[in-house]
Chain A
Amino acid sequence: MSLIELKNLTLGYDKDIILKHINMSIDENDFICIVGPNGSGKSTLVKGILGLIKPIKGKVIYNGLKQNFIGYMPQETKVDSSFPASVYEIVLSGTLNSNEYKLFYTKKQKEEADKNLKILGIENLKNKCFCDLSGGQRQKVLLARSLCATSKLLILDEPSNNLDSKSKADLYKTINDLNKNYGITIIMITHDLDHDNLIGNKILSLRENDIFFGSVDEFVRRIHND
């Protein structure tokens, strides 16, 4: 079943059009990797889906999913190395989409945060300061936060940036696990097009005047034909 449909979507900032006439459907349980050179509009597309920028033309249709219940992991959260915030405070803030003006987090929100810390295997970091964590641990904390915001769809903007290869492999394994075992649909922007370990079942490739959307197999065949 389709979760999100993009209909003739045109996106950009002010008068600069970055992406034109995008039509695609994101189905439940999909794991879509978005690839393409810098400036090809990968982040713009994701922001359009999240409603952070308004479409110039066309529309995004959400089926059984509210826009603010998508778990988003922005590219490189610029956090000061001295920012005082515990892992628990950060993960809990992901549940704020279901909270109106309440002074304290509800029991349900706390359980949600605990559950997601456990899924990602970082319960032991709960009371640590974000500033004392390694790059890989930080990404898992931010992943846990976005997981708190959704039960259906995660959108990850280059989650493995600046990670060493071991943390990278570990993070990809976790994301794959969320898709396969927890039934979470994933859209991930990535630079890692290492053909041996392509993850995901579909690829969206953005190049100027050449937009491809299809299965991983089709994509590989296409590259070989080029």
Chain B
Amino acid sequence: MINDILEMFSYTFMTRAFIVGLLISLCASLIGVSLVLRRNSMIGDGLSHVGFGAFAIASIIGIAPLEFAIPIVIVVSFLILRLNDSSKIHGDSMIALISASSLAIGTFAISVTGVNTDINNYLFGSILSISDKDVIISVVLSIVVILLYLLSYNKIFAITFDENFAKSIGINTNFYNIIFASLCSIVVVLGMRLMGSLLISSLILFPTLSSMQIFKKFKSVVISSVVISIISFIIGLLISYFNATPTGATIVIVNLVVFIIFKLISIIVLKRK
């Protein structure tokens, strides 16, 4: 078994996938806690579809996909925040609208120009598509995400729990919302290479939802989410390597199993309804 795992790392693409995946899982679980608790889960999903559209367009005009997609997705995330505050269209409907439009634009662009790209790779992810440059970008941006999160952890809690109060004690909530939307966009775009645009949002949601079944402190939920996310990723990657199953889908299924186990523990052991 150990030998098999060592052999796995002799493939550079597996090492790349492992490094990027580990970092993305960590970041996604951090971001996820606030997204779920602020009832903004759908934003992650919406942004991943925007990412799909941006990737498709980038491949057609021949620019580097990550460098193109990250700024586009960040801009759209600001738009969603803005529209949520002021628009007459309800937040959820707005996100659904943006999601579907981006998917359509991406698919349309790919078929019209006849670029020979496998749409599957964008939708469901592919560990083969991760390049050395992607690894460097992922490492740098992940460190930024983790540092910013740690530095503003207490304020993130205050804003997530009660935005009005946070504002009253002088926390610049608009600034933090913008930072948060940017972090979320970065995580979604980086994670899409591995998980695909249809599956990346589950990496954000599952660890938090599982943790909330058992833990009742914010800090415990954050720590547990990170642990669950990393362990599920490693197990998922190993299963997919040894059984030649799709990586993204396998990781999501492992997360689903963890969720079911935690739910059962909360019902049977902790007697919660």
Are A and B interaction partners?
A: yes
Q: Choose from B39, B150, B164, B217 the contact partner of A89 (Cβ within 8 Å).
A: B217
List CB contacts (< 8 Å) of B201-224 with chain A: 211-212, 215-221
Nearest CB in chain A: distance from B204 CB, A: 17
Verify B39–A80 contact, CB threshold 8 A. yes
Cα A1 to Cα B151 with chains together (Å)? 40
C-alpha spacing A94/B212, complex, angstroms: 24
Interface flag for A120 (CB, 8 Å): no
A77 touches B162 (CB 8 A): yes
Bound-state CA distance A68–B171 (Å) is: 9
Within 8 A of A (CB), among B134-186: 150-155, 157-158, 161-162, 164-171
B168 with A89: CB separation less than 8 A: no
Minimum Cβ distance to chain A for residue B226 (Å):
15
- Encode contact with B along A102-127: 1 for CB under 8 Å, 0 otherwise: 11010000000000000000000000
Counting CB contacts under 8 A, is A223 at the interface? Answer: no
Establish whether residues A83 and B171, one from each chain, have CB atoms under 8 Å apart when the complex forms. Answer: no
Taking the complex as formed, is B104 at the interface, i.e. its CB lies under 8 A from any CB of chain A?
Answer: no
Q: Out of B154, B217, B218, B220, which one reaches A96, CB within 8 Å? A: B154
Say which residue of B151, B153, B155, B216 sits within 8 Å of A84 (CB atoms).
B216
Instruction: Specify the chain A residue showing the minimal Cβ separation from B163.
Output: A74
Give which listed residue, A97, A103, A149, contacts B153 with CB less than 8 A. Answer: A103
Set of chain A residues within 8 Å of B219, measured between Cβ atoms: 89
- By a CB distance below 8 angstroms, the chain B residues around A97 are 169-171
Q: Is the CB of A52 within 8 A of B171?
A: no
Docked-complex contact A94 and B162, CB < 8 angstroms: no
Name A's B-contacting residues (CB within 8 A).
50, 52, 67-70, 72-74, 77, 79-80, 82-86, 89-90, 92-94, 96-97, 99, 101-103, 105, 129, 131-132, 145-146, 149
Chain B positions near chain A (C-beta within 8 angstroms)? 37, 39, 150-155, 157-158, 161-162, 164-171, 211-212, 215-221
- Besides A84-B221, A93-B154, 5 more A-B contacts (Cβ < 8 Å) are A50-B168, A84-B215, A86-B218, A89-B217, A97-B171
7 tightest Cβ-Cβ pairs between the two chains A and B: A68-B170, A129-B216, A72-B168, A97-B169, A93-B158, A74-B164, A86-B217
Pairs across A and B, CB under 8 Å, 16 listed: A67-B170, A73-B165, A83-B37, A84-B211, A84-B216, A84-B221, A85-B217, A85-B218, A89-B157, A89-B217, A93-B154, A93-B166, A96-B158, A101-B152, A103-B150, A103-B153
